[in-house]
Amino acid sequence: MTFDEIDKKLLFFLQEDAKQTTKELSYKLGLSVTAVYERIKKLENAGVISKYVAILDRHKINRNFIILCHVKLSQHKKEYVLQFEREVMNLQEVTECFHVSGDYDYILKIGVKDMEDYRNFMLTKLTTLQHIASTHSSFMISEVKNTTAIVL
């Protein structure tokens, strides 16, 4: 799909604050409310906008201890890969999971309260998953950049 400059600006504004009204957006874009509404619907129907979410402050919900956990599977059989992926989807502490190339098979982004909470997560949840050969954890020292925005 190709985007004109108005689509790009509209997507930028929506990523910045999706609660803006079509009236507010129409003022910023110099379009009618109807034109803005139709553009948003077009972008939603095309799947460019897949959903609207509320981004929570990790500190206020006590999930500010962030870990990147590298996971290596014991074998790369299709059934092992699919089973791991199904099981990791049910771990609420895991906010992101990437199947990657290199020394490890997956990288998990995990948010918990503190080190003790992470240890409990490892012992009672992650290490109970089948077919994990090894893990390697890195802990966030500080957050340099965290955005969900994609600039076109």
pLDDT tens digits for range 22-52: 999 999 999 999 999 999 999 999 999 999 9
> How many other C-beta atoms can be found within 10 angstroms of the C-beta atom of residue 33?
14
Find out whether 43 and 11 touch, Cβ atoms under 8 Å: yes
pLDDT at 42: 97
With a cut of 90, say whether residue 1 has pLDDT above it: no
Q: In the β-sheet with 94-99, what is the strand arrangement from edge to edge? A: 94-99, 106-112, 65-73, 132-139
Instruction: Residue 20: give the domain boundaries.
Output: 5-46
Q: Is residue 71 part of a domain?
A: yes
Asked if 71 and 121 sit in the same domain, the reply is yes
- Considering the domain boundaries, does residue 52 fall inside one? no
Residue 14 binned pLDDT confidence (cut-offs 50, 70, 90): very high
Is residue 146 included in any domain, yes or no?
Answer: no
In a domain, 99, yes or no: yes
The per-residue b/e assignment along 87-103, b for 16 or more CB within 10 angstroms, e otherwise, is bbeeeebbeebeeeeee
Could you count the other beta carbons within 10 Å of the beta carbon of residue 44?
Answer: 13
Stated as kind and residue range, the H or E segment containing 70 is: strand 65-73
- Report yes or no on 95 lying in a domain: yes
CA angle 91, 92, 97 (to 5 degrees): 65
Mark whether 91 and 30 lie in a shared domain. no
Residues 74 and 39 in one domain: no
69 and 116 fall within a common domain: yes
Decide if 115 contacts 49 (C-beta within 8 A): no
Amino acid (1-letter code) at residue 30: G
Are 17 and 72 part of one and the same domain? no
Q: Do 71 and 134 belong together in one domain?
A: yes
What digits encode the pLDDT tens for the residues 92-110? 999 999 999 999 999 999 9
Q: What span, in angstroms and rounded, lies between the C-alpha atoms of 99 and 113?
A: 25
Domain of residue 35, CATH code: 1.10.10.10
Q: How far is Cα 13 from Cα 28, in angstroms, rounded to an integer?
A: 9
In the prediction, which pLDDT does 26 show? 97
- pLDDT tens digits for range 103-150: 999 999 999 999 999 999 999 999 999 999 999 999 999 999 999 999
Domain count, the chain: 2
